[in-house]
């Protein structure tokens, strides 16, 4: 395997299935199958889940909910998704642990770096919910933070598209996909794949980000095998389209 320890960022929308909302048992099972395949290859897998399929703090604030309260509501939504994913993985016989940025000892462990690392070393999948535990930070930033703390080999962002494009491929049929994208261009071009703080954290800690289509079976394994045709690699290398 090209990568021995990874952090997989799963959006809430990915767990919501085609509709992108609510909890889709089929979508969660598909995600679990991909994670299970990676686990069987001996890769240490940590997962950060979003909560946009249930509640998104920023959207809530646009509807009159206080931003801080809305962000905490969004964090709780990520914990619901984390527990759903844990349940599905453990039905497949994979040992897991859920750790959260907000302490809720009845349902999950609080995030403790040394414990998380030990779980990975023992072959457990660690699922992080609750974001960073602080409002005003996205789950992308939480993913970059946990990836940096765990010293992963790569941060894999699972999306609904097969990489990063120079414009929205749904609106522009001539949009071009980047095979390689530099951290600098990712921030400068405002491509909207992750926020600037997440890119900056990964850049500072030299963690490559791979953006790929999570809805194609086997894509996660292909990424782990170093297949450069799958998705977009964001790193310190110069940007390349095609």
What's the CA gap between 128 and 150, in Å, rounded? 12
pLDDT tens-digit readout, 214-229: 889 999 999 999 887 8
Low-confidence residues of the chain, pLDDT below 50?
none
Q: What is the pTM of this model?
A: 0.93
What's the CA gap between 115 and 52, in Å, rounded? 28
Would you state the pLDDT for residue 214? Answer: 83
What's the CA gap between 153 and 25, in Å, rounded? 30
Would you state the pLDDT for residue 100? Answer: 98
> Which helix (H) or strand (E) element contains residue 25?
helix 25-40
> End-to-end alpha-carbon separation of the chain, Å?
25
Domains of the chain (ranges; CATH) run 5-241 (3.40.1160.10)
Of 215, 220, 49, 200, the C-alpha closest to 234 is 200
């Amino acid at each position: 395997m090209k990568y021995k320890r990874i952090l997989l960022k799963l959006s809430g929308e990915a767990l919501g299935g085609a509709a992108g909302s609510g909890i889709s048992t089929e979508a969660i099972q598909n995600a679990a199958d991909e994670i299970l395949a990676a686990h069987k290859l001996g890769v240490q897998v940590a997962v950060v889940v979003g909560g946009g399929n249930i509640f998104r703090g920023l959207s809530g604030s646009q509807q009159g909910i206080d931003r801080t309260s809305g962000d905490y509501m969004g964090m709780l939504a990520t914990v619901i998704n984390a527990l759903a994913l844990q349940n599905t993985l453990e039905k497949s016989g994979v040992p897991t642990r859920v750790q959260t940025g907000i302490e809720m000892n009845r349902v999950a462990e609080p995030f403790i770096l040394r414990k998380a690392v030990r779980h990975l070393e023992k072959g457990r999948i660690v699922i992080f919910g609750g974001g960073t535990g602080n409002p005003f930070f996205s789950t992308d930033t939480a993913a970059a933070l946990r990836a940096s703390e765990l010293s992963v080999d790569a941060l894999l962002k699972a999306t609904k598209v097969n990489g990063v494009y120079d414009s929205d491929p749904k609106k522009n049929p001539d949009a071009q996909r980047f095979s390689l994208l530099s951290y600098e261009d990712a921030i400068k071009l405002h491509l909207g794949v992750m926020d600037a703080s997440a890119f900056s954290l990964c850049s500072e800690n030299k963690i490559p980000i791979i953006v790929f289509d999570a809805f194609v079976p086997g894509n996660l394994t292909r990424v782990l095998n170093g297949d450069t045709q799958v998705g977009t690699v964001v790193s310190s290398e110069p940007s390349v389209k095609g």
